Structure 1
Amino acid sequence: MLLLALDTATPAVTVALHDGTAGTLASHQRVDARRHGELLLPAVDQVLSEAGRTLDQLTDVVVGVGPGPYTGLRVGLATAAALGAARDLPVHGLCTLDGLAYASGLDRPFVVATDARRKEVYWARYADHRTRVGEPQVHPPAEVAALVGPLPALGAGAQLYAEHFPGLLEGAPAHQSAGALAQLAAERLAAGEELLPPRPLYLRRPDAKVPAGYKVVTPR
């Protein structure tokens, strides 16, 4: 197995190459919420070059499906779909929050929260770093605090609204790591588990809206 993992559901543009057994062969991460489209493919080229591999050698593609803002999330999903179609590769989806949780290595209950903008967070509760409890959700931080109390918390959303996450873990991962996403995917595939389809998990409608009173100019 030679698995390419990528995720653009958070401000981090992250890519990793994983051999399915020993671990990550190469990885790249850049935190820049405005340049997902510009940074992703060069990052793919970089990890392949560092590992001395080519696109022809890939066997699988894994992509973070969110939750995340519309514009950034679709960059990773579209790129994964294009690579899969061009090379006739299976494309697997994984929840972005699951990758963050896995990277923590925690073996006790905790919460992952990422920034959803609009003064909200995307979040999910975990029994341990491999086991999510329930589905990802989006809420204002105060509402999440009322639901989870002092549980340990990690992620950029928890850091941004630290006053609502008294269990914030210092030094815990803030952004997604494609290396962690790839390792989690490799473990689940080896166990015969079926991963998610590579479709976006938005949880809410996009920010962009058709202006009120929009005038149609198409000739009749």
Structure 2
Amino acid sequence: MFLALDTSTLTMSLALVERGPDGVRVVEHQVVRPPIKQSEALPGVVGELLARHDVKLAALEGLVVGLGPGSFTGLRIGLATVKSLAYAAGLKVAGASSLAAVAMEGPEDVPLFVLAVARKDDLYLGAYGRRGGTVEALEPETAMSPQEVAQRMAAEPRAVALGPALVDYRAALESHGVAPERLLSGHDFPSAVELVRLSRMPETFSLEALFSMEPHYVRASEPERNPKFPPLPGPAPTARLKDD
């Protein structure tokens, strides 16, 4: 049994899932929406979910976490929670793209432009193709303005857009010429269940793999881009363990 978590948007998705030769069976999928804060809900909701099904943390086969892109704070909260639980119980951990998880719920055989909210009125864009129970990235995930997204969709007339950003940016995209029927509704957060379907769990528990797992920010955070806070001298810090 696997526990999966996505905190890349303000809506948290948490799932307890069994995975076998016949696919995935959802034991429970819990969605925690605003105004509840993820920092206040975690890790308590994890313990409550496990307790409802009489499952001990150490009995899980592994943990799965959404790596973004999305809210910088949300991604840090989710990954810190999963790393802490994995370290405490010696559990294997796998990560998957939050945008790819949304694409898993999109239509097949058309280009899917999955959109999430970024800072400075930009949008994260992940271009995917879905066929059956898998998705394929058509290009690297990136960030761009709503106008640039509209231009991309004009250049790819078969593409449809979906994802959390459409809650707030549907009108902006339509104002830039995107037809309403190309903006799909109902996909306002990445599903933790789909993360399990996407994930590739390592064979064994590894501290090095655990601490080297990082969110996929796509672009630098505001402090990293701010010239008032120049980078520290010396090699860039990492989460990896030292060889010695």
TM-score (norm 1): 0.82
> What is the alpha-carbon distance in structure 2 between the residues aligned to residue 183 and residue 43 of structure 1?
22
Please name the residue that 1:152 is paired with: 160
Cα distance, 1:136 vs structure 2:
0.9
Write the letter of the residue equivalent to 2:136.
Answer: T
Q: Say yes or no: does 1:37 pair with 2:46.
A: no
Equivalences for residues 53-64 of structure 1 within 5 A: 53-64=55-66
Task: Give the percent of matched residue pairs that are identical in Structure 1 and Structure 2.
Answer: 31
Aligned with 2:148 (options 138, 143, 148): 143
Equivalences for residues 100-139 of structure 1 within 5 A: 100-104=102-106, 106-128=108-130, 130-139=135-144
Other structure's SS at 2:118 match: strand
Aligned with 2:91 (options 74, 89, 92): 89
Contact 1:61–1:92 (8 Å) recurs in 2: yes
Write the letter of the residue equivalent to 2:34.
Answer: D
Please name the residue that 1:173 is paired with: 187
Per mean C-alpha deviation after superposition, the further-off stretch among 33-42 and 151-160 is 33-42
The unaligned stretches of length 5 or more in structure 1 are 214-220
> What is the alpha-carbon distance in structure 2 between the residues aligned to residue 12 and residue 203 of structure 1?
20
Deviation track 1:179-219 (CA, whole Å, cap 9, x = no partner) reads 2212332xx559xxxx9963111122223477959xxxxxx
Cα distance, 1:74 vs structure 2:
0.2
> What is the alpha-carbon distance in structure 2 between the residues aligned to residue 199 and residue 33 of structure 1?
27
RMSD between aligned alpha carbons? Answer: 2.6
TM-score (norm 2): 0.75
> What is the alpha-carbon distance in structure 2 between the residues aligned to residue 33 and residue 80 of structure 1?
22
Please name the residue that 1:74 is paired with: 76
Question: Structure 1 residues 211 and 33 mapped into 2: Cα distance closer, same or farther (>3 Å)?
Answer: farther
Contact 1:69–1:206 (8 Å) recurs in 2: no
The unaligned stretches of length 5 or more in structure 2 are 203-208, 230-244
Q: How many residues align?
A: 205
